[in-house]
Amino acid sequence: MSCIERTVEDVQKLILHAKLTEDELLPVTQTLEFSPEYGEASQEMVMMEVDPALLNTMRQGDSIVLRGDPEAGAVLCTNNKTYEVREAETSNSLVLVPQLALPSMDSTGERTLENCQVCSIHYKYLEVRPCKPRVEKLQQILEEHPYSGPQEDDLTDTSKGKKYTWSDLLNRVQCSEEELDQGLRDIEAYHIYGFWQILEFDYRFKVVSHILQLIETKSWALDCVPYKESVEILSELEPRAVMVQCFEYYLTPTDKENESGDALYTLQDDKICRLCAEVLLKSADKYNLNEFLSIWQQSVPEGLTTNMSQLEGLALVDRSGSADAISYFPVSSLPSGVQERFNCLFETREKWSIEEIRPYIMDLTGENTPVNALLTKYARASTSNGIKYYSGRHAR
């Protein structure tokens, strides 16, 4: 295989010249040369640094996909994790010699030569580092075409935006499949006739109201709502797929069954109260706080108790006027970029206490950046009346 005429004697002469001795060396010498195809396009290879866990995933033949995006760097995704991919450069030469062997320490005998070929030399390689799934886009994408009810099942209407299937989403969102699944759950997405959609707000409230009304009509206890019976009745009002998923979003299973063997579910109190608050808040610019609290309590099903903590990330209380006021301020309407988010928050309100600001930056935190780290980096702290406040770094 060797392309050069190099003999054992040639090698031994060089050993002497280099002031080495045969005695101190193991008997096998590997002569290195460039392969015949060295430098050709067919030899173009990419090197990627991986951690042992990722290597294992690759060896098991699990799905690994690179997902690109025109605005952000590429990511690498396994079934359940996302890694950011960056190109690293080194001033060292990384010389690939596929067949080079490490000799065994106890080999003896006459000197022999083995030929080894260098197939390529690299100065760049890809580094991968675990990162958060880039699911912020998901809300935005699904807002292109929210589902507003069965009347829109007219497939000939192309006036609205694009609808996305699971594959379409994987093409647009840089995350693994499991993370996509969780992301869709987090924004309350529905799988309707093969497409993933969020419900238009009014329609969503309509669907949930059907459930609440049924519970009231049947005088069921809020933690004893029979699954099958409910879905059967409600599917006459709205498409079954929508009803079933909505049920699962707003109620949780208990371990109990009723006498007919039907699984019993319980209302998610906080979620229902929050939804009712959202309906009220959206319909007016702002409310007198006390009036709001009163109307709100009256609007929720009997047996549920409203609580300000249910409004985190949804509403802002303004205590600067003569009477306290509350207005709609959902975190989902704020920019997803960190600097832009902080800019927006400080434009809305000059000073924030930590309890006030935390719900509006929670989604920006990461493994190494908890809330405090974000505040240190993007805000300026000050104290007033013993309370710590945060404001913009470049505030007037």
Partner 1 sequence: MQIPIKISNDGSEEWMMLELQGDLESRTQTKMSNKFIGDLHFTKQGVPVLIIGHHILYGKVMDMDKPFVIMNKIQTDTCMEVPESDTNEELDVLYNIKAVVKKKLIFKNRPKPIIASSVKNV
60-99: contacts with partner 1 (CB under 8 A): 61, 63-69, 76, 91-99
Cβ contact 34:40 at 8 Å? no
Query: Taking CB under 8 A as the criterion, which residues in 307-336 touch partner 1?
Result: none
Cβ contact 58:138 at 8 Å? no
Query: Taking CB under 8 A as the criterion, which residues in 354-383 touch partner 1?
Result: none
Residue 324 CA: distances (Å) to CA of 292, 294, 357, 387: 10, 14, 18, 19
Task: Report how far Cα 47 is from the mean position of its chain's Cα atoms.
Answer: 26
Amino acid identity, residue 48?
Answer: M
Give the number of residues in contact with partner 1, rule: CB under 8 A. 74
Cα(267)–Cα(304) distance, integer angstroms: 9
Cβ contact 142:197 at 8 Å? yes
Query: Taking CB under 8 A as the criterion, which residues in 10-49 touch partner 1?
Result: 10-11, 13-15, 17-20, 24-26, 28-40, 44-49
* Closest by CA position to 183, among listed 171, 195, 194, 169: 169
Query: Taking CB under 8 A as the criterion, which residues in 136-165 touch partner 1?
Result: 165
Task: Report how far Cα 146 is from the mean position of its chain's Cα atoms.
Answer: 21
| Sole residue written with tokens 């991968």 | 128
Q: Which one, 173 or 374, has the nearer CB to partner 1?
A: 173
Q: Which one, 58 or 284, has the nearer CB to partner 1?
A: 58
Q: Which one, 2 or 332, has the nearer CB to partner 1?
A: 2
Q: At closest approach, how far in Å is the CB of 135 from partner 1?
A: 16
Q: At closest approach, how far in Å is the CB of 145 from partner 1?
A: 18
Binding window for partner 1 (CB under 8 A); candidates: 55-63, 252-260, 318-326, 383-391: 55-63
Which residue among 88, 100, 381, 387 contacts partner 1 (CB under 8 A)?
Answer: 100
Cα(277)–Cα(131) distance, integer angstroms: 35
Cβ contact 141:184 at 8 Å? no
Q: At closest approach, how far in Å is the CB of 109 from partner 1?
A: 13
| Sole residue written with tokens 């450069």 | 89
Query: Taking CB under 8 A as the criterion, which residues in 280-299 touch partner 1?
Result: none
* Closest by CA position to 215, among listed 226, 206, 204, 201: 226
Q: Which one, 98 or 366, has the nearer CB to partner 1?
A: 98
Cα(223)–Cα(68) distance, integer angstroms: 45
Q: Which one, 21 or 385, has the nearer CB to partner 1?
A: 21
Q: Which one, 98 or 253, has the nearer CB to partner 1?
A: 98
* Closest by CA position to 195, among listed 245, 232, 252: 245
Q: At closest approach, how far in Å is the CB of 139 from partner 1?
A: 21
Structure tokens at 393: 């770094």
Structure tokens at 34: 């460039």
Which residue among 1, 88, 103, 305 contacts partner 1 (CB under 8 A)?
Answer: 103
Cα(166)–Cα(378) distance, integer angstroms: 36
Query: Taking CB under 8 A as the criterion, which residues in 165-224 touch partner 1?
Result: 165-167, 170-171, 177, 194
Residues 104-133: x/- map of binding to partner 1 (CB under 8 A)? Answer: -x----------x-x--x---x--------
Q: At closest approach, how far in Å is the CB of 234 from partner 1?
A: 28
Q: At closest approach, how far in Å is the CB of 108 from partner 1?
A: 10
Q: Which one, 36 or 303, has the nearer CB to partner 1?
A: 36
Binding window for partner 1 (CB under 8 A); candidates: 59-67, 220-228, 233-241, 284-292: 59-67
